[in-house]
Each structure stands twice: as C-alpha cells, then as structure tokens.
Amino acid sequence: MKPISLFVRTIALVGLLAGAASAQVTDQQFSDLMGRYLQGEAGQQALGKTVEGFFQKRQQEMMKKQQDQEKTDFESQFKSPVKVDAGASPAKGPATAKVTIIEFSDFQCPYCKRGHDTMDEVLKAYPNDVKLVFKHLPLPFHKEAGPAAKAAYAAGKQNKFWEYHDALFANQSRLGAAYYEEVAKNLGLNMEKWKKDMASPEAEKQIEADKAIAEANSIQGTPGFFVNGVAVKGAYPFDHFKTIIDRWLNEGKAEGKDK
C-alpha cells in the first residue's frame, strides 16, 4: 500500500476512531482500518465531501482575495488616473464633457462590437457629460482589422468617420475591399480622395501612433477603455461604465461644493 498522508488518514478515519481516541493504533493497523473504510460507500462519500469542502473553501478564499485586490486597484485608479493623450483622434460628444472615454478598438473583433454597442448606450444616457474618443488597435491575427482601420481613417478625412465606423461594426462579416468601397460610396465620399487617403503614409502613421499609446498604457487586447483615466479592459456592460462615470460626476459635484 502506498504511503498515506496525515491529512487523508485523519479525515478518513476520524469517524472510526472518534470513540477510541486514547487507543494505541500502529501504522499497519491504521492502514488496514483505512483501507477497509475506504472500500465502503460511506467512507468514500465522507472522503469525497471532505475534500470537496476543502477545495470549495480554498476557492472562496482565493476569490475574496482577488475581489479585494481588484477593489483596491479600482480605488487607486481614481486617486491616480492614467493620462492618455486624445490627440487628434476622432471624437464625439460635447467638448465641455466632464468625462472623456478613450476607446481602443478593432473593427474585426466581436468583443469590440459589444463595446461599440455599450458606448452608444453610454452616450445616449449621458449626452451632456460624456465624450468618446476612438483610437485604432487592429490586432495582428485579424487580417481585415488593419485595412478597415485605414478605410475608416480615410472616411474621417471627409468628416465621415463615425458613420463609416458604425457601418463597419454593423457588418463585421462583410469586411473586405468590396465592402469598404460600398460604404464609401453610400456615404457619398469623394472616392478618389478616399482611396488616396486610405493608402497614404499618414493613415499608417496614425494607426501606429494609436497602437503605441495602447502599448504604453498596458492595453494589449481589445476593446480597452480609459474613463477619465480609469482603465476598463474588456467588453464590460453598461452598468460597469455607469458606476465609474457616476463616481466622476459625483466627485466633480463635491469639488464644486468645496470651492
């Protein structure tokens, strides 16, 4: 018989030996008793429940520790928000908005489509208080993400970025050269200028600059957001953004009262 740990010995035979705690039991006797006990259904069930309870407790402890750490990190971000330069990236919402959300996104990423839908919800809920800034982060394993970003950039040169942006997310399954041209024509763009801008060094330069900002701020996947400098990494639902936005708006009100 293989060596048995003290932990297993204790939990398996505690029921058998509870009434004879003072008895002298040799290792061999202990092993024989344990073997017979574990062969029975009651012993196996008792052992299974004990082990299951042990790991459930450990899992709960680890989850609580993780939640506590996330809460600490979340609070620290409000005290020291990340400063992300919006630059000349496309933006919508009032210039006087109290909260600016900077979004890093990929037009081919399905999670970014969720992020897009959530941002629409946010802007509708906070028409006077939130401004959205879009930055490109095409992921290398999405072959259409780069071309789509350049196509949207070129549309932006004719003040149609957001319309083009919406069309790309609305039809992710159609991304490709033919669809890019179709959208450009539907939006009434000057096709010659659009094609020239899409193939320009400036388009590539802008996208690379956005990618560099993402990397500098530890945004490696998409979508990624900064809500007045508080990071949201992933396609979180509206309620998560609402909690952060309301916190900033309430802090702004509190500062106004203090002055």
Distance CA 165, CA 153 (A): 9
pTM over 0.75: no
Three-state DSSP string of the chain: CCCCCHHHHHHHHHHHHHHHCCCCCCHHHHHHHHHHHHHCHHHHHHHHHHHHHHHHHHHHHHHHHHHHHHHHHHHHHHHCCCCCCCCCCCEECCCCCCEEEEEEECCCCHHHHHHHHHHHHHHHHCCCCEEEEEEECCCCCCCCHHHHHHHHHHHHCCCCHHHHHHHHHHCHHHCCHHHHHHHHHHCCCCHHHHHHHHCCHHHHHHHHHHHHHHHHCCCCCCCEEEECCEEEECCCCHHHHHHHHHHHHHHHHHHHHHC
Distance CA 60, CA 212 (A): 38
- What is the model's pLDDT at position 78? 83
CA angle 90, 116, 153 (to 5 degrees): 30
- What is the model's pLDDT at position 20? 47
Q: How many CB atoms lie within 10 A of CB 40?
A: 10
- What is the model's pLDDT at position 226? 96
Q: Which residues of the chain register pLDDT less than 50? A: 1, 6, 12, 17-22, 254, 256-259
35: Cβ–Cβ under 8 A, 6 or more apart, which residues? 1
127 in Cβ contact with 247 (< 8 Å)? no
Distance CA 131, CA 211 (A): 21
- What is the model's pLDDT at position 21? 46
Distance CA 157, CA 40 (A): 77
Distance CA 153, CA 133 (A): 13
Map out the domains of the chain with their CATH numbers: 6-66 (no CATH), 91-258 (3.40.30.10)
- What is the model's pLDDT at position 255? 52
- What is the model's pLDDT at position 75? 79
Q: Can you read off the two tokens belonging to residue 231?
A: 């990071």
- What is the model's pLDDT at position 61? 62
Residue 58 amino acid letter = R
Between strands 130-136 and 99-105, the pairing is: parallel
